[in-house]
Amino acid sequence: MTSTKNIPFWHLLFCLFVLSSSCSTAQNNAKVKTTPTPAETAHQPKLIVGITVDQMRYDYIEKFWEDLSEDGFKKLVNEGFFARNLHYNYMPTFTGPGHAAIYTGTTPAFNGIIANDWYERSSNKMVYCSSDSTVSGVGTNSAAGKMSPHYLTSTTLGDELKLFSNQRSKVIGIAMKDRGAILPAGRTADAAYWFVGGNEGVWATSTWYMDSLPNWVVDYNAKRVPETVMSKSWDFLLPTEKYDESMEDNNAFELPFKGLTRPVMPYSMSELRAQNSNYDLIKATPFGNSLTAEFGKQVIEKEQLGKDEHTDMLCMSFSSTDYVGHQFGIHSKELQDCYLRLDRDIADFIKYLDATVGKGNYLIFLSADHAGAPTPSYVMENKGAAGYWKSDRLEEKVQNFLTEKYGEGSWIVNETNQNIFLNRTLIREKKLSLKSIQMDVSDFVADQENILMAFNAADLSRIGDKSPMAVRAQLGFHQRHSGDVIYILDSGYMEYGMQGTTHGSPFTYDTHVPALFYGFGVKQGETFQPQTICDIAPTVAAICKLPLPSSAIGSPINTLVK
């Protein structure tokens, strides 16, 4: 051991000075590294932006990756959190139920939105998921304004935010589709605006929310922005050789616009508007998404969202992807171009949020209300398992079966969305057992060609361990709204035309959707762990320190939350 007696005094002083300086520097550096920014110390974000992309499959991000910009979907993936194995856990996978599930954290069994349209026994008629005869349109005099969330029986994230802040937070929903604006925002929202096409071309709402449009919406509608869109041509965003992920532009599996014989780009908006419901044409092109994004900026600016100490929420649904997918199918160049343009719209919107709300001050979550199936005619041509279905034929077979077994009578009152509604009045008059007939019909239906499974209401009303498909049917079953028998078609089968595609099944091509989180409270990463659509709302609630929606059955994605 070296003695200090042999070290000169000046040398000891020098060593003490260096040590003191090093400690001081280390402490200062530690302070720099650990001093959080205001955004990092905030209890909640200033603004929550929920984005629903209508009919977006999970694989589109991977499929179109090379042609995406750096600041749109890629930014959300590279700087945010990507839940890559998230599925819908119920059927049917439609727009209304999907939007409701994302924001309520639960399924149709508990939020009341079982489909876009369903048969209502009490009134003996079909009802629409956001129709409401007790309200009037605001900004429109047409039936398109008679909409509200009155069928929604669970609170949404927005509802919980309003309650949490004692009504001081603002919650607003916007979309091309009324249900895409109304159901996410919830029952207590400050506003929901949707685009009324036809010959109007305006953003409107209903008396559920207000008696008259705010001046800024009136002024915006007066600018006739949609009319500028009608002078455009929908052509490829990128050189055509970039679209090698999709089919040839002219093929037999896509549905042309009315007035055209071939589904071939470019499309002149001015030439097509007369035969395609005028301003409704916008919804079926990428320009509908762009209009939605631009209107979203107006909402943030005019309503001063994210400008005070109370968290606000904007629910945005990009609907045009669904219209394009239905018409042209998932393999079309039109669909690819729609997503490439949406990618740029999202990039621009993120840039706007950074400039107005501030980077780190907002939370974005993005998912889809359902995915989309491959076009059966295209799959069949390539020797895949797929086909088409006619529900009318099944209804006739069930009617004949019941007549033969139980006698004459109109045994079926409705068949919708693969739900069979029995004539319960007739069954009571004949003093028969409803449960027995439900079981007879489900057994009969299950034996039919191209039907994978059939369930009766008696079984679905009981909770038990069942197959994954049975669970999805059960979580989509509502005792008051659903039918007496529900059936599932074979994989790849649908009731639709030979061109374009649809959705609604419990199979992965309709259930697997992306879930992206970006911004406030989100650490970068990804997970392949199984998640359900019901996990999105609890995750957002955990990040933002909010109560769960009233009927939420999902759980937060633990690997996501900081």
Catalytic residue positions, numbered: 95
Contact 333, 315 (CB under 8 A): no
Please check whether residue 446 is in contact with residue 487, taking contact to mean a CB–CB distance below 8 angstroms: yes
Tokens of 91: 């059927």
Structure tokens at 57: 């499959």
Beta bridge partners of 72: none
Given a contact cutoff of 8 angstroms between Cβ atoms, the answer to whether 534 and 553 are in contact is: yes
Contact (CB, 8 A) for 269 and 233 = yes
Rounded CA-CA distance 88/447 in Å is: 27
- Owner of token pair 């320190």: 545
Distance CA 470, CA 453 (A): 8
**Residues 254-277 as b or e (16 or more Cβ within 10 Å = b):** bbebeeeeebebebebeebbeebe
Can you name the residues that pair with 120 across neighbouring β-strands? Answer: 125
CA separation, residue 294 to residues 28, 71, 444 (Å): 45, 17, 52
Q: Specify the length of the chain in residues.
A: 562
Task: Look at phi and psi of residue 279 and say left if phi exceeds 0, alpha if psi is from -120 to 50, else beta.
Answer: alpha
Peptide bond between residue 184 and the one before it cis (omega within 30 degrees of 0): no
The answer to whether residues 73 and 63 touch, using CB atoms and an 8 Å cutoff, is no
| Residue 46 near residue 306 (C-beta atoms within 8 A) | yes
Structure tokens at 472: 């999805």
d(CA 499, CA 55): 16
